[in-house]
Amino acid sequence: MCRQPQSEALGNRPAESVKCSPAQCCVVSIRWLRQTSHGVHHHTYHFAIVYVVTVERNHFESQGFVLRKSLFSATEVAHARDWLSSQDPSKLLKTWTESEPGVPLAIYSVVHEVTNPIGQLATDSRISMIASQLMSEETYIWSSKVNMKAAWCGAVEYYHQDFVYWRDRGYPSDRMLSCMVFLDSHSLRNAALHVLPGTHLSGLLAHEPFTNLNGLSKLMIPPQSLDRLYETHGICVIEAEPGDALFFHTSLVHGSSHNISPHRRMICLVQMNTRSNQPTAVPTAAKSSNIRRAEAEVKEARRRLQYFEEKLRRQLGSEEVTFGAPIPKEERH
């Protein structure tokens, strides 16, 4: 579901749906015979070749994203999703910052390096085939994760361009993209991804630092800039079914809200770089970016600690109720 830029929506034009191209795919089967001392064995190997059609490439180039329906079958996705749902979250958690209130495992990170069903999905060649065709160049995965967006309390992702993080790690250009594989039904009701079409052509926009729920230093595009971007670009809510895959440019502005619905909204995000876009000054760039972020986190943690210690001290040292506004007169001496 897309909302047109405000200037175009003035004539009460209805919101348009995202147009999706039919999947372009063929399955190739190779059959061979192997003779051993036990006899002749037949082997068949099936693999899918996926093609990007012109309408998809044009949509990606002009809008910054394209939704490929049914890249994976419902069965393939169910296999990965059910495997993950059956795991002990504490075994997959790498640090407590990957959990959230009410959600023991909110992010399952670096999944392209594991051999379980989620890792197999993330590294499936159909993703890189499409990514490489969209970028007209070989791509490779350099990062990946599953965002759980749990039912009732999955957390917000403020609007940002992914490239704001990658640039700081030394990637010279934004010739990068992500593939979001939908593991659950995905719509407005369970905190769908929102994108501002065409913003990938805006260059790197100014972001503001903020501290997230877990005290991590993050970056967001401030509301005043979003107002302006919305006027020009409008907004699209991505609606998808399990097995669909959204390919989006690293400079596309995107975000999603808290999921307070009863429906989980799990996605697997595969982040890819083009082969020619090799990061420079690694690990210096990544290290200094880490230091900047960690310094901001420590500074904010100290500020909060100071505030809370003072709050505690005031209450311990007073006969009066000192916080928890409103303090009704019955609670005052």
162 vs 297 by CB, closer to ligand AKG: 162
Pick the closer one to ligand AKG by CB: 50 or 267: 267
| Interactions with ligand AKG, residue window 107-146 (CB under 6 A) | none
CB 254 to ligand AKG: min, Å: 6
162 or 239: whose CB is closer to ligand AKG? 162
Question: For the window 240-279, what string marks contact with ligand AKG as x by the rule CB under 6 A?
Answer: --------------x-x----------x-x----------
Q: Is 164 in the site for ligand AKG (CB under 6 A)?
A: no
By CB under 6 A, residue 157 contacts ligand AKG: yes
Residue among 157 and 239 whose Cβ is closer to ligand AKG = 157
CB 55 within 8 A of CB 22: no
CA 56-9-15 angle, to 5 degrees, is 50
Crossing angle of the two packed helices 54-63 and 125-135, in degrees rounded to 10:
70
Q: How far is the CB of 328 from ligand AKG (least distance, A)?
A: 41
Question: What is the rounded radius of gyration, in angstroms, for the C-alpha atoms of the chain?
Answer: 24
CB of 220 to ligand AKG, least distance (A): 11
Q: What share of the chain is helix, strand, coil (3-state, %, to 5)?
A: 35, 25, 40
Q: How far apart (Å, rounded) are the C-alpha atoms in residues 302 and 89?
A: 30
**Which two tokens mark 213?**
């729920």
Residues 6 or more apart from 103 whose CB is under 8 A from it?
Answer: 148, 150, 153, 154, 155
Q: How far is the CB of 269 from ligand AKG (least distance, A)?
A: 6
State the minimum distance, in angstroms, from the CB of residue 160 to ligand AKG: 7
Minimal distance, residue 144 CB to ligand AKG, in Å: 10
241 Cα distance to chain centroid? 16
Query: Which one, of 262, 296, 258, 255, lies nearest residue 106 by Cα?
Result: 258
Which residue number is nearest to ligand AKG in terms of Cβ?
Answer: 256
Which residue, 76 or 157, is less far from ligand AKG as judged by CB?
157
Q: Which of residues 168-227 bind ligand AKG (CB under 6 A)?
A: 193
Number of residues binding to ligand AKG, judged by CB under 6 A: 8
Single out the residue of 147, 161, 199, 259 in contact with ligand AKG (rule: CB under 6 A).
147
**Least distance from C-beta 162 to ligand AKG, angstroms?**
6
Give the start-end residues of each E strand in 227-314. 235-237, 245-249, 254-256, 267-274
CA distance 246 to 236: 13
| CA gap 78, 305 in Å, rounded | 44
Q: Both ends of the chain: CA-CA distance in Å?
A: 57
- From the CB of 156, what's the least distance to ligand AKG, in Å? 9
- In the bound state with ligand AKG, the residue whose beta carbon lies nearer, of 147 and 277, is 147
Considering the complex, state which of residue 50 and residue 66 has its C-beta at the smaller distance from ligand AKG: 66
Residue 242 · residue 183 · CB < 8 Å: yes
254-256 and 194-195 strand pairing: antiparallel
SS3 for 213?
coil
Closest CB to ligand AKG among 50 and 226?
Answer: 226
Residues that bind ligand AKG (CB under 6 A): 147, 157, 162, 193, 254, 256, 267, 269
